[in-house]
Amino acid sequence: MGFRANTILNLIVGTAIALSAYLKPVGGNTADEVQGWTITQRQGWYWGSQGSRLLPLKWFESLEQPDNDKPFADIGYLSSFGYLAPPSGSSFRRPIGFAVDKQPDANLVATKLRWYQTQQGGSHAEPWVGLNCSACHTAEIAYQGNSLRIDGGPSLTDFQSFIEALDKALIATKSEPEKLKRFSRKVLAGRNSAKNRHLLVAALDKLIEWQDETARLNATPLRYGYGRVDAFGHIYNKVAMFAGSEKFTNNPADAPVSFPFLWNIHRQKHVQWNGIAENTKVQLGVGHLDYGAMGRNTGEVLGVFGEVVVTPQNGLLGSFEGFRSSVDLANLDRMETTLEKLQAPRWPISFPPIDQSKASRGAELFGMKCATNCHKPTHETTDTETMHKFVGMPANELTDIWMACNAFTYLAPAGKLADGD
Ligand code: HEC
């Protein structure tokens, strides 16, 4: 038995339901800031963990670049992949979206690494680094020395090259004795014994193997370049890995798409470029759980280095038993609620004023060339009304249908997600 792409939504929604008890109320807001966000809300967006675990924090800080001995975590180096430096004066020393995840790991599998003898899995578990939403949904543009950060704007990152560089750096650490020596000295500072060095190499092997399998499944000769990623393809393959699907014909992650902007998303009925995810809210006591967003974001976290432990769903409750995972649902809900407050950026005063005659000519052209087809609102929109973005996807040379096609045609064995028939 196989699973199709939209089974992913069932898995992730199951996870969301099982863990929704962890939801916490969202803090107060005085929208006195740029784009409707306060400094605290912006900080939560930049640095809040969503349960993404790419590699242990200590390893991230100790790793060297693949071809030299400079630090991998160097902001200048990470900026070369398009990641944005933290705002000046910030106490954070990682690029925007490089969030630290600290949680007990005793129930996890793939991201439960042990590299020294006294290491604990409970409340003192080692922190990890991963990517949160803002790594992919924050833009920055510059004009004559004035830069403008756009929260929720499309990032111009080269995710594919970043991951390849990380994989190369891990492999180089394993295979080059001098690199390994320096790495062990830093990671094991104060406990650099032969036994721990042995444990560290075994843990490094485990992470390399995991990354290698991910790379094998996603492999494509296509280069995404800056500003595009096949998010759906990556999520799809990760879910197959967690489901323990036996080796299957590769579903290459070969449909890179642009990073969308995120203001107004809560007003859309459907999201994702192919409209596969519905925004559905569920009333929970006095508040609401953004059920659609939770499912969608849980999928995103799994695609971007979150972990779920899939066990066969044989009990009476079926998928309502849920799954153990690293996904931080409380923070995800907080981030999604913060997003509802996000406003489109205003034209900055440091930029030259808008040429009104060109702007009205642009509006005319939009009406003629764009709104007549794909971008026509089905009815007038207001702040509270639902926007219907999709009015059909014309199969013409203007539309890249690859992502939608992959979402429909990709198949993988269901593994532990199989329901037994
Ligand atoms: C690794 C990069 C990456 C990360 C991290 C990421 N996203 Fe995205 N996101 C994308 C890409 C690429 C798409 C477009 C996917 C598609 O539809 O094919 C997308 C789509 C979306 C959409 C749909 C928007 C629309 O108009 O259809 C929303 C909403 C969204 N992301 C929110 C989030 C939130 C919230 C988080 C964090 C919990 C997050 N994203 C994390 C890359 C990312």
The residue whose CB lies within 8 Å of the most ligand 1 atoms, and thus the one to mutate among 137, 298, 410, is 137
Contacts of 24 (CB under 8 A, 6+ apart): 330, 333, 334
Of ligand 1's listed atoms, the one at least distance from the Cα of 275 is 27
Residue 229: pLDDT over 60: yes
State the CB neighbour count (10 A cutoff) for residue 13.
Answer: 19
**Residue ranges around ligand 1 (CB below 6 Å):** 50, 131-133, 135-137, 159, 229, 231-232, 257, 259-260, 262, 265, 271-273, 297, 300, 304, 332, 335-336, 403
Cα-based angle 330, 327, 294 (whole degrees, multiple of 5): 60
Lowest mean pLDDT segment, chosen from 45-49, 82-86, 263-267, 365-369: 263-267
Stated length of the chain: 421
Q: Report H helices in 193-284.
A: 194-218, 231-242
Calculate how far, in angstroms, residue 263's C-alpha sits from the geometric centre of ligand 1.
12
* Burial degree of 189 (CB within 10 A; 0-12, 13-18, 19+): exposed
pTM (2 decimals)? 0.85
- Supply the residue whose CA is at minimum distance from atom 43 of ligand 1: 136
Place of tokens 């995840």: 101
Task: Give the Cα separation of 363 and 355 in Å (integer).
Answer: 12
Calculate how far, in angstroms, residue 403's C-alpha sits from the geometric centre of ligand 1.
14
CB-CB contact of 126 with 207 (8 Å): no
Calculate how far, in angstroms, residue 168's C-alpha sits from the geometric centre of ligand 1.
26
- Supply the residue whose CA is at minimum distance from atom 17 of ligand 1: 272
Task: Give the Cα separation of 80 and 43 in Å (integer).
Answer: 23
**Which pLDDT value is given to residue 16?**
36
Residue 345: pLDDT over 60: yes
213: which 2 tokens? 């399998």
- Supply the residue whose CA is at minimum distance from atom 33 of ligand 1: 133
Decide: helix, strand or coil at residue 101: strand
Residue 35: pLDDT over 80: yes
96: which 2 tokens? 């925007």
Mean pLDDT (whole number) for 57-85: 97
Calculate how far, in angstroms, residue 178's C-alpha sits from the geometric centre of ligand 1.
39
- The per-residue pLDDT of the chain, averaged, comes to 80
The residue whose CB lies within 8 Å of the most ligand 1 atoms, and thus the one to mutate among 159, 224, 254, 262, is 262
Calculate how far, in angstroms, residue 78's C-alpha sits from the geometric centre of ligand 1.
20
339: which 2 tokens? 């997003």
Calculate how far, in angstroms, residue 260's C-alpha sits from the geometric centre of ligand 1.
7
Band of the pLDDT at 73, cuts 50, 70, 90?
very high
Calculate how far, in angstroms, residue 136's C-alpha sits from the geometric centre of ligand 1.
7
The separation between the first and the last C-alpha atoms of the chain, rounded to the nearest angstrom, is 8
- Supply the residue whose CA is at minimum distance from atom 6 of ligand 1: 133
**Which pLDDT value is given to residue 290?**
55
Decide: helix, strand or coil at residue 282: strand
Task: Give the Cα separation of 294 and 289 in Å (integer).
Answer: 8
**Which pLDDT value is given to residue 281?**
58
CB-CB contact of 263 with 152 (8 Å): yes
pLDDT tens string 294-332 = 555 565 555 566 666 666 655 554 445 566 777 777 777
Of ligand 1's listed atoms, the one at least distance from the Cα of 335 is 35
Calculate how far, in angstroms, residue 259's C-alpha sits from the geometric centre of ligand 1.
7
Place of tokens 């670049």: 65
- Supply the residue whose CA is at minimum distance from atom 39 of ligand 1: 133
With residue 148 as reference, give the H or E element that holds it: strand 146-151
Task: Give the Cα separation of 194 and 379 in Å (integer).
Answer: 69
pLDDT tens string 252-283 = 999 999 999 998 887 777 778 887 777 665 54
**Position with higher pLDDT, 241 vs 297:** 241
Of ligand 1's listed atoms, the one at least distance from the Cα of 159 is 1
**Position with higher pLDDT, 321 vs 223:** 223
Residue 386: pLDDT over 70: no
Calculate how far, in angstroms, residue 416's C-alpha sits from the geometric centre of ligand 1.
27
Residue 91: pLDDT over 80: yes
**Which pLDDT value is given to residue 90?**
83
**Which pLDDT value is given to residue 167?**
98
**Which pLDDT value is given to residue 183?**
98
- Supply the residue whose CA is at minimum distance from atom 36 of ligand 1: 133
CB-CB contact of 307 with 325 (8 Å): yes
Residue 207: pLDDT over 60: yes
The residue whose CB lies within 8 Å of the most ligand 1 atoms, and thus the one to mutate among 46, 81, 136, is 136
**Which pLDDT value is given to residue 331?**
77
Largest CA distance in the chain: 73
CB-CB contact of 35 with 344 (8 Å): yes
- Supply the residue whose CA is at minimum distance from atom 5 of ligand 1: 133
Which of 86, 78, 44, 82 has the alpha carbon at shortest distance from 61?
78
- Supply the residue whose CA is at minimum distance from atom 37 of ligand 1: 133
